[in-house]
Chains A and B, each alone.
Chain A
Amino acid sequence: MSAKPTVQSVSKLFENTRAALNSQNPNLDAIKSQLSQLKVSLVGLALQNSQIEADQSFQVLKRSVAELGAELSIKMADIAAFERYMAQLEPFYFDNRLGLDESKVMYPLIGLNLLRMLSDNLIADFHTVLERIDLEQIQNNPFIVHPVKLEQALMEGSYKKVWQARSEVPTPEYLFFMDILMSTIRNEVASCVEKSYVSLPFDDAKSVLFFSSMDELLRFAQEHQWSVSPSEKRITFKTEAEDTRMFQGENIMKQTLSYARELERIV
């Protein structure tokens, strides 16, 4: 195989990049340019030798590069890029026809991806991915259990648990998405609070909505157009009593006309 030395040289380049990313103060921009170099040389390899696609070590290298990219994009807070790398990794993780060994970072990355979907409120996608993971892993793997439990708490409405889950993350990378998730659930809580309370004192509202300072709360209240009365120190929520007993003329007219049309077709 003439391509063999090149595979080795590419993996060497990969090792260097890997080491750079794991170092104390990684220069992310430099790593990013190295990564694109890596990807170009991978494509080059595949073009030189069409047989190489069946080669296991080449596939492992491809997978590792994509994993590196996913980790890097989390560090750079680039969610769109993370999503792309995860899409590239999907065939390696869920459609393992080449018989590769399981990657070490597979479940942490899948867990991160699940968390990303939760924070983006993509519950349908979350469940679609979940269906493809082994039950064994769902129940026992800490990286998967964490997002699964979170989703359950979110669905039930135990927002306190979600809040607490922030301190129980399996790896620090999860924090990035947890922070996004927090603002999502704050909005969720806000919509629940609006409907279920008539009014709340400032202090209670602060704790219910997980705010640490008064200013944040007031700004949030303003965004949601809640009426704040500083003298009583209370927030009052607008009650929009929708009168369902109203006669909905237009709707009934539409329905009756459609019945008439259908009946005319029959007679």
Chain B
Amino acid sequence: MSKSNEAASMDVELSPEQKQAEAHRILLEDLGRSLKFLQRGIAAAETHYIYRALRAVPSLRKRLLPEVLAETISACTSETDAPNVRDCLKGMLVLLKQDQRESQSTGACEPELCLFLGLLSLLSLLDSGDRASGAKLAESLIRVTSGSQRRTLDPIASRVFFYYSRIFEMDGRLHDVRPALLNALQAATLAGMKETKAMLLTLLLRNYMHYKHYDQAERLTAKSSFPSDAPNNLLARYLYYLGHIEAIQLNYSQAQLHLLEATRKAPSNAETAGFQQTVHKIYVIVELLMGNIPERSLFRQPVLRKPLQPYLELTQAVRVGDLNKFQDVVAKYEEKFLKDDVLILIQRLRHNVIKAGIRSISIAYSRISLRDICLKLHLDSEEDAEYIVAKAIRDGVVDATIDHEKGFVQSAEIHNVYSTNDPQYAFDKRIAFCLSLYNDSVKSMRYPGSDHRKELAYAMEAIKRERELAHELENDDYDGDSDEDAMDEDL
């Protein structure tokens, strides 16, 4: 520790070669530390340590040097490795274009270590833009995961699958990975690898959605269960896909629920801005399709303001119920909406615009002729207007009756919302949300294995002390001072 501090303070005087050597050494040390965490995790069968090793991956990725990686890989290989692990490690060296060095390791290389090193090699290849080698490496890594059922492998394997799919996506060959992912999903489900399963489900959904196989994606979600204790960022992604599929299948209330949850589960920082934007775009449309108007403050958030501008104008058009304005906005931003894959969803909004128009008319007028409605909403004919209003009445958009012979619409009197059950339903919904939030947070707390014994011992001691105290009190014949002292001690 003191050594590295020294090095940092002498930074100015070092020559470039020395600096490089220093970076080399630090990287090697950091790699070694991560591997130690892995080994500790394997020994204790505790995924805790594995996560600590994985947490170092982003910082390692930035400084990764192929030759250092090769050194570490060589250091891990030995003659006693399982054949698939040995092949994989060798393959890594070949793909990194490094020579095999002398091995110092005596024990066999655990699959976790192999995968971790593989993951780093994969990132290094990806960053250098060599996707063809990356794809080869990813395939060999997946062969290593397929044989094993170890719980400690789970978090690393899930990341390997992520990059595997990512490489093929960048190459535009996403449908080639589908069979492999489906097989892996089956294996992960059987082996109870929760994180890998969650990752594979989201990857498959992404895969299906990329080719617009919404029906297949929907079937996948219906036939599989998402692991309940999956990491939040996977859950957020899964919820987004679910919400998107449901929006397309007109299941708006579920879609709204899932999209809202997705925005809440996703961490809000600069790195997730893209995700937040994508989710909010669909969320706004789903809200509009449900007949709600999203809050203005949503569009003011700094990350969302600019990308959501077209959606803001859309919302304004729907809110006013102006069909012409709505069509103008759609025409103006057609390219953008098409790029976001929501144009067809937006075209469904047309009747919401009409509904909003009818609603505002029914609030403003207690009685209005069908002819005037037709003019105000730019509808084609009076007959059409009559059917449209009739449908609005049936759908509960407005409360009114139509007089066919005289050709007018009569609005019913508006009654007080607080005399109905609606406020109670709203409260019930909120209470249920708070309670489930509480339950979720209780569930996600961690209780280390032997801690309760300590507490137990502590409680026993407290009981013993109390007994002693009581005993003393009895003997002491109520001495005020000693009583207070005892109290202090006890506190």
- Chain A residues in the interface with B (C-beta under 8 A): 94-95, 97, 123-125, 127-128, 130-132, 135, 138, 152, 155-161, 188-189, 191-198, 200-201, 204, 208, 244-245, 248, 252, 255, 259, 262, 265-266
Contacts and interface: CB of A to CB of B under 8 A. Distances in A.
Contacts, number: 110
Contacts of B379: 158
B251 A244 contact: no
Given A97-B175, A124-B250, A135-B338, A252 B424 contact: yes
Given A95-B211, A131-B212, 19 more contacts: A97-B175, A124-B249, A125-B249, A128-B249, A132-B213, A138-B344, A152-B350, A156-B351, A158-B388, A159-B387, A189-B390, A191-B394, A192-B390, A200-B404, A204-B404, A208-B386, A208-B404, A244-B420, A262-B439
Contact of B383 (A94, A128, A160, A252): A160
B351 A152 contact: yes
A159 B389 CA distance: 11
B388 A157 contact: yes
Nearest to B428: A255
A196 B384 contact: no
A182 to B, nearest CB: 14
Range class of the B interface residue count:
35 or more
B401 A198 contact: yes
A197 B387 CA distance: 11
B204 to A, nearest CB: 16
Contacts of B251: 124
Contacts of B348: 127, 155
Interface of B: 175, 211-215, 218, 248-251, 338, 343-344, 347-348, 350-351, 354, 379-381, 383-384, 386-394, 400-405, 419-421, 424, 428, 431, 435, 438-439
Contacts of A192: 387, 390-391, 393-394
Contacts of A132: 212-214
Contacts of A194: 394
A138 B391 CA distance: 26
Contact of A197 (B215, B250, B404): B404
B248 A158 contact: no
30 contacts: A123-B250, A124-B249, A125-B249, A127-B248, A127-B249, A127-B348, A131-B212, A131-B248, A135-B343, A152-B347, A152-B350, A155-B351, A156-B388, A157-B351, A157-B391, A194-B394, A195-B390, A196-B389, A196-B394, A196-B401, A197-B401, A197-B402, A198-B401, A200-B404, A201-B405, A208-B386, A244-B421, A245-B420, A245-B421, A259-B435
Contacts of B392: 157
Contacts of A252: 424
B392 to A, nearest CB: 7
Contacts of B344: 127, 130-131, 135, 138
A194 B395 CA distance: 12
A130 B212 CA distance: 10
B240 to A, nearest CB: 17
Contacts of A259: 431, 435
A132 B421 CA distance: 42
A125 B216 CA distance: 12
A263 B81 CA distance: 55
Contacts of B215: 125, 128
A198 B387 CA distance: 15
Contacts of A130: 344
Nearest to B215: A128
Contacts of A123: 250
A61 B389 CA distance: 51
